[in-house]
Every structure is written in C-alpha cells, then in structure tokens.
Structure 1
C-alpha cells in the first residue's frame, strides 16, 4: 500500500467580525487543505492554518513547502507515519504548519484503514471533552456582552483575550465576571502582550475574579521572565507560543517556568509530535490543553 497522489488547495474563510488579540487583528482565515490519495482507495484530509507571527509561515510558504515534500512522499506507506514525518523533516527544516496538514491526512488514513475512530487508535478513551470559546479584545462592556451570549449558548468556559492595556485588561475581566457570575470558568490569554512587571501586577489584581490560568503572559523567548511571572503569580501559568516541540516542553518544565501547556498542531507539526509533547508533560505532571490557530 502506498501514497498515490497528493492534492493541495487554498481556502479563505471570512469571519463574521474582526477578531483581535494583543499583537494584531484578523478578518479571515487563509488556510491550506491537503488531500492524500492511496493506491487502495482510502483518502485522507488535512488542513494547515499558518501564522507568520507564531511559526513564520504563510499560506504561500505552506504551498511552497508542500511542493517540496509531496513528490518525495509518493509511493511511501501512509501507515508508517513516524517514517513519513522523519522524511518530511529531512526534506525541509521547520515549517510545522505545512507538515501538520500532511500528518493529519496520514492519521485520517490510519483511522479509515482501521475502520476505527482515530482517538481510540492513539489511546484516547473520552467520548466528551470540554471546550471554551475565545472572546476577542473589545471594550470591557462589549466583551461582557459577548461573554453573556456565549454562556447562554452553553459554553462553560471562556478564554478572554487580553494583553493590550494592563488597566483595561483588569477591567475587562472584572466586567465579564460580574456579567456571567461565578460558575463559568475564566481563562486569560495575553499572547505575549505584557512585560514581566505588568504580568505580575495584573495577575495579582485578577486573582479575585477566579481565573483558572493565564496563557503566555510574556514574550515567548523570555524564559527567565516567564519563570519570574510563575513564581510571583497567584494564577497558574500556561505556555503557548513558548512551546513548539517536545524539546521546548522539556526545557520549560525543567526551568520550572510553566504550570500548563497549550499544544497546537500548527506549532508541533501535527498529531505525532503533539502526542510527544503531551507525553513529556504527562511524565512531569504538567496538564495540557489542545488549542487551535486561525
């Protein structure tokens, strides 16, 4: 059995309204779709949602990377996923979002070939998981209204984007908590928007609003700063942009700079390496969340 054909498509998905986080605002997702056809009739699908800010990739670079990878994968066994990922890594360094869509398509083929749900094949057992909804940065009052709408739709956890203005960030969380009550879980995500001093000050002020965790409060490269924030924050610290690989996870855990990890397939290069990050975290007793991009 082998890979017979790989097709690549681009797609634009416009948002209903602009979505703003600390670094920038976006109005659409410009993604890349991969279709892998096998010589035994099974077809796998994967998707790349690149972020120039996080991994340095764009839809154009993803397509160019896939143009290099795809010819070398023709004829390879789609079920030897570790081998296929190693082959991709030998062809092109980095470019995890491009590799992630191929990895996803290979895992899709695995599940379809086995006629089993993929989550069971890779060791999962839960049939239900909690998901949050992310609130785009707006004025405190507008975000409070968005929070109420989300809770009415049934969401039991909200991720609040912050990181633009420390004083306003505290006010945002205050207004949201007042609007939705105490039962709904709140998480905040600064997307590297604060300095170390700002992060420590803001998180201590936010503690009273029952914040479950604070995601990537400072620059991804500032390992020492992240550690200082963790040591001085009453709220657990989650790393996102700081962790792209199993080696990154090990480095931050050993530095005692993180309480939790946000795994994203676009950063890790797909499901295979995302699982390895989870294994590193599990061995250290560090909880993980699976997030998305785009």
Structure 2
C-alpha cells in the first residue's frame, strides 16, 4: 500500500488570549498542515508552525518544501518501511526542521493508523494521558498575579511565566505571582533568550534571595551563546533548561560538553520530528540531563504528537503541552482534549484526527 498523495493546507486558528513573549506577540496560531494518504485511503497528519523568531521558517517556505522535495521523497514509498523513509526525509533538504517534522509526524501517524493502534502505543507506551504546565504571557505584576490565581483555580499546578523583557521588572513579576498562588504551585520561567548572561545571573539570584522557589529557568540567554548559558548555569542554584540552544544532536552535544544547562526542552518542530526527538531524549538521559517535551504555538496535531511522545517515553519534568489549549476551538475533529492540566490522548488509531475543519486548500 504505497503513499499515493501528499497535500498541504494553511491553517490560521484564533487564540482566546494574546500570546506574548520576549520575542513576539500573536493572536493566532499559523501553521501548515500536511496530509499523507496511502493507497487504501489511510491518512496521516502533521504540521509545520510558522515561528519567525525561533526557527525562522515561514508558512510559504514550509509549504514549498513539503510540496516539492519532501513530497517527491515519499510518493510511491511503502509507509511500513518507516525507518528508511524517515532517513530519506531527513536527507532530502538542508534545514527546514518544521517541514521535515511535519512529514515525520504524518508518516508516524499513518503507520500507526495502518496498524490500528494509538500513536503512543506505536511509540512503545501504554499511557493515555500526559500532564502539562500552562503559560502566562508577559504582563505587569498585578495582571500576572490575577491570571496565575485564575489558572490555579482551573486546576493547573505548574505555571510557566514568560519573562525576559526587563530583568528588574521580572523579579517583581515572579514575586507577585508567588504571593498570589502560595507555596504549593510550581513556577517556572521562560526568558526566550531575553537576558544577557549578567542580567540572567542577577535576576535569578534575586529571585532565589526573595524565596520565590522557581523550579527552572528556560533559555535565559541567546540560543547561540552556549558559553553564556554555561556561565548562568554555573552561577545560580536554580535549574536551567536549554530550548533555543538545542535543535539537534550537534547542539545537544555542545551543551552536554560545556555542561551549559541542567535540562533540555525537546520540540518536534525544532528537532525535525518524532524520530530525532526520541534520539535527543535518549542522549539527554544518558548524559544525566533532565528532559521535557514542548511545543511551538501548534494545533491539536502537533501537540498530540508531542503528548504521544511524552506518554510513550516520559520526561523528568512536567512537559509544556498547552499550545492547543490557547485555541478558541479545535481546527480538527478528533485528537487530544484538555481537562485542566491533563492532556487526554484519543482511544483511536494514530493521532485520532478525523479531519480538518478550518483550512485553506
């Protein structure tokens, strides 16, 4: 049953609340959805989100890559030859991690559907749920405190605070949130590369001195500045988490060799899919690093794949899988659902996606 067709669809899905970080502000999730179809009509879904300030990939670029060389790489191939097929996809183009990740996920989804098993089971696990944190966008202390209290009331017990716009103000923001939610809620920070190494050390130490009990700080400095990340890690007690510093094996090895971070955040759109992501998790664990699986601003397709990976592999920290929670409604039928901090995987083959409901052909 060879692959007969590969199609792409543009999706722009509105968010219920603006998503604001040190890098950008957005009110929509914009992504390219790829559908891979075999001879018997089985379909596999994947997506390539547009994240200009992180991966640098655009909707137009991802779509051209998928419609061109990646489509050529898989048409007529047997999806059961998954390992060889994924190797071909990775070697078909340079870069284009999001586009390759979308096709990688679609091929995994298709293979699982053909066997009639959920994707998590196909990846080697039996769990049907995964836990997630919830993100609080950049805002002033009073607004953040109110939002944090509301999220805790909704059942979330791990809050990810976007910081990095103002190191001094960030300390006040975190103190306000801790005062609002009390000691029983975990607070983690994501600076999105917004601090210099010196600013990061000063801010994190100030939070430590204030007793804010921050669980971890994600990507405090520029992703290319591995030496700066190592400097921060060596001069604070709080755990550091590498995100934009790690796309693939080469970057993770550099972080490991420099002991530049305590943990790594693995994302499918950065690592080019489930295949490379599994390698990164194994490598990080072997090196004694903590692990987490995250997502860009993606829909239920990309987050469903990430949650399936967590359900199969597990991570040392609660993962960051709330991206689809931000959507006003699902642009698909089927797939994952949210119950507070619990991501529920469907009891259906593959990702359990039945169809796209909002898309431009």
Query: Normalising TM by the smaller chain, what interval?
Result: over 0.9
Tell me which residue corresponds to 2:116: 115
Distance in 2 separating the partners of 1:50 and 1:283: 32
Q: For 1:45-194, what aligned pairs fall within 5 Å after superposition?
A: 45-68=45-68, 69-194=70-195
Structure 1 residue 78 displacement after superposition: 1.5
Distance in 2 separating the partners of 1:2 and 1:191: 42
Matched residue of 1:27: which SS? strand
* From 263, 266, 270, the counterpart of 1:263: 266
Q: Is the 8 A contact 1:51 1:57 kept in 2?
A: yes
Matched residue of 2:53: which SS? helix
Tell me which residue corresponds to 1:234: 237
Structure 2 unmatched runs, 5+: 298-361
Please give the per-residue CA displacement for 1:46-105, whole angstroms capped at 9, x wherever unaligned: 111131211110111001111221133111122323322222233211101011111111
Tell me which residue corresponds to 1:35: 35
* From 239, 243, 246, the counterpart of 1:243: 246
Q: For 1:214-225, what aligned pairs fall within 5 Å after superposition?
A: 214-225=217-228
Structure 1 residue 125 displacement after superposition: 4.1
Structure 1 residue 172 displacement after superposition: 0.7
Q: Is the 8 A contact 1:7 1:35 kept in 2?
A: yes
* From 273, 283, 286, the counterpart of 2:286: 283
Please give the per-residue CA displacement for 1:192-219, whole angstroms capped at 9, x wherever unaligned: 0000000001111112111110000000
Structure 1 residue 277 displacement after superposition: 0.4
Matched residue of 1:262: which SS? strand
Structure 1 unmatched runs, 5+: none
Structure 1 residue 282 displacement after superposition: 1.2
Q: How many residues align?
A: 294
TM-score w.r.t. structure 1 length?
0.97
Asked if 1:6 corresponds to 2:6, the answer is yes
Q: Is the 8 A contact 2:267 2:296 kept in 1?
A: yes
Higher relative contact order, chain-length normalized (CA < 8 Å, sep 6+): 2
Q: Which moved more, 1:22-31 or 1:144-153?
A: 22-31
Tell me which residue corresponds to 1:22: 22
Larger helix proportion of the pair: 1
Matched residue of 1:93: which SS? coil
Please give the per-residue CA displacement for 1:142-162, whole angstroms capped at 9, x wherever unaligned: 011111111111111000000
